[in-house]
Amino acid sequence: MNATIWHNPRCSTSRAALAMLTDAGATVTVVEYLEDPPSRDELARVYARAGVAPRDALRPGSTAVADDDAALDLMVRDPATIQRPVVETAKGAVIARPADRVLDLL
């Protein structure tokens, strides 16, 4: 199985989700989104696939936004506002908080 994780190596939840994926034998593409941020279109695509409104995918404490378009614009400008980790496989996509949400995709 192939998986992609938008990962922050400094985040314990992100590290735990990555470990669960590798322990399950997944071939994981790790995207360090703070260094290689996703495009606005990629953000919108993954959140739609996950069934999550972009404004609900902002990290707690991020700047308040009026709507999903503003949330996407904020994430593009400041990728640190993206809630992590985001995991995608052929079965779907999730914001893996808590980390064991990745199990739904295995």
Whether CATH 3.30.70.20 fits 2-105 = no
Q: Which residue has the tokens 């322990």?
A: 23
25 is catalytic: no
**Within 10 Å of residue 7's Cβ, how many Cβ atoms?**
23
Per-residue model confidence as pLDDT tens digits over 38-97:
999 999 999 999 999 999 999 999 989 999 999 999 999 999 999 999 999 999 999 999
Question: CA angle 32-88-17, nearest 5°?
Answer: 65
Could you tell me the sign of the dihedral formed by the alpha carbons of 38, 45, 41, 43, in that order? negative
| pLDDT of 79 | 97
Q: Which amino acid is at 74?
A: L
Residue from 4, 11, 41, 47 carrying the catalytic annotation: 11
pTM of the model as a whole: 0.94
